[in-house]
Amino acid sequence: MQSQERKIQAPVPNLETQAFWDACAQGKLMIGKCNACGAVYYYPRALCPVCFSDKTGLQQASGNGTIYTYSVMRRAPIPYAIAYVTLAEGPSIMTNIVDCDLDKIKIGQAVKLVFKPSDGGPPVPMFTPI
Ligand SMILES: [Zn+2]
């Protein structure tokens, strides 16, 4: 039921994450890309977590991924699923699995990106089974 939508806390962008959240507002999920060693990673950050280069930028993720692991929070007022999704590009993202029967979520399930509005902030990237 739509009236049972969980309220999502607004993310608070900072200098390092502003471009990421601006992209979310345009419906794009960005991952970090190192121009020195070629690594892609999540979350995006100024220094490459692999080689510590500052020659980093953002790359748009396809939005396709698979569920690596998940947990259903049933004691919340509105139950929800928290998960790690491994993106097609390689990095994993901690997220929520939404718009599905929480009892039917499976590890290894293919998912795709959806954005959910937050409470007064930028939309938040989440995933739904394909
Ligand atoms: Zn690097």
Q: Tell me: the pLDDT tens digits for 21-44? A: 999 999 999 999 999 999 999 999
Distance from the alpha carbon of residue 37 to the mean position of ligand 1, in angstroms = 4
Residues whose beta carbons lie less than 5 angstroms from ion ligand 1: 34, 36-37, 39, 48, 50-51, 53
pLDDT band at 123 (very low <50, low <70, confident <90, very high): very high
Distance from the alpha carbon of residue 85 to the mean position of ligand 1, in angstroms = 22
Mean pLDDT of 72-101: 96
Cβ 24 vs Cβ 123: under 8 Å: yes
How many whole angstroms separate alpha carbon 7 and alpha carbon 79? 12
For CA atoms 85, 112, 10, 73, give the dihedral sign: negative
pLDDT > 70: percent of the chain: 97
Check residue 1 and give its pLDDT: 44
How many whole angstroms separate alpha carbon 70 and alpha carbon 128? 13
How confident is the prediction for the chain on average, in pLDDT?
Answer: 95
Q: The whole model's pTM is what? A: 0.91
pLDDT band at 5 (very low <50, low <70, confident <90, very high): confident
Distance from the alpha carbon of residue 42 to the mean position of ligand 1, in angstroms = 13
pLDDT band at 76 (very low <50, low <70, confident <90, very high): confident
| Cis peptide preceding 43, ω within 30 of 0 | yes
Residues 6 or more apart whose CB falls under 8 angstroms from that of 20 comprise 13, 30, 43, 44, 58
Distance from the alpha carbon of residue 35 to the mean position of ligand 1, in angstroms = 7
Q: Is 21 helix (H, G, I), strand (E, B) or coil?
A: helix
Q: Is 69 helix (H, G, I), strand (E, B) or coil?
A: strand
Check residue 115 and give its pLDDT: 98
44-57, pLDDT tens digit by residue?
999 999 999 999 99
